[in-house]
């Protein structure tokens, strides 16, 4: 019993990290996409559970596959196949928003969840916009150009499904620490 006392602070730290990690993780990702914090009623647009954690939706898998970055390809895709590109749903139809820019997306209200096909943005609320020739303002054009990519990713097992989450790794570290403590 005396041998376990030095392990108590370590176990406490690991246990608290398992509780804290899932709470703050979606907050960090929400800042990596335009309007990630502005989708009404949704705290984690990349998960089937709107409060975060658990299974990723199609947008969450695509975001993971894009290296947790807002890329032009991710922006132009229609992850949930609702007829609106991810960029249109998140107020960045021209795919110009970046994390580094201080510029707001074209619109910040009336955005929708790009991972939920039942959630679409109200197009009548969109301001008039014109994208440069390298981007498109038409959902249908972007959807058509990305359809083979979307079909491929939905029909195959996403690497996101096979990857260990931070919570899983924290839990495994906690169990390993317990085993080491009891073995000592």
pLDDT digits over 18-29, tens only?
444 444 456 789
50's tokens: 């709107």
Residue 125 pLDDT class (50, 70, 90 cuts) = confident
pLDDT at position 118 is 96
Whether 76 and 95 have beta carbons less than 8 Å apart is answered as yes
Q: How many CB atoms lie within 10 A of CB 165?
A: 15
Domain locations along the chain: 2-183
Tell me, what DSSP letter sits at residue 56? B
């Amino acid at each position: 019993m005396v041998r376990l006392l030095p392990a108590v602070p370590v176990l406490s730290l690991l246990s608290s990290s398992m509780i804290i990690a899932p709470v703050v993780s979606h907050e960090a990702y929400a800042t990596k996409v335009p309007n990630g914090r502005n989708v009404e009623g949704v705290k984690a647009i990349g998960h089937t559970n709107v409060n975060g954690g658990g299974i990723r939706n199609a947008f969450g898998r695509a975001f993971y596959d894009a290296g947790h970055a807002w890329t032009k390809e991710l922006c132009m895709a229609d992850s949930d196949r609702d007829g609106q590109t991810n960029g249109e749903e998140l107020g960045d139809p021209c795919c110009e928003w970046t994390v580094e820019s201080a510029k707001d997306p074209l619109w910040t209200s009336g955005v929708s969840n790009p991972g939920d096909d039942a959630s679409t943005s109200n197009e009548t609320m969109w301001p008039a916009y014109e994208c440069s020739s390298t981007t498109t303002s038409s959902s249908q054009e972007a959807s058509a150009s990305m359809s083979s990519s979307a079909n491929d990713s939905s029909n195959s097992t996403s690497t996101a499904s096979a990857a260990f989450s931070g919570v899983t790794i924290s839990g495994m570290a906690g169990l390993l620490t317990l085993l080491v403590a009891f073995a000592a």
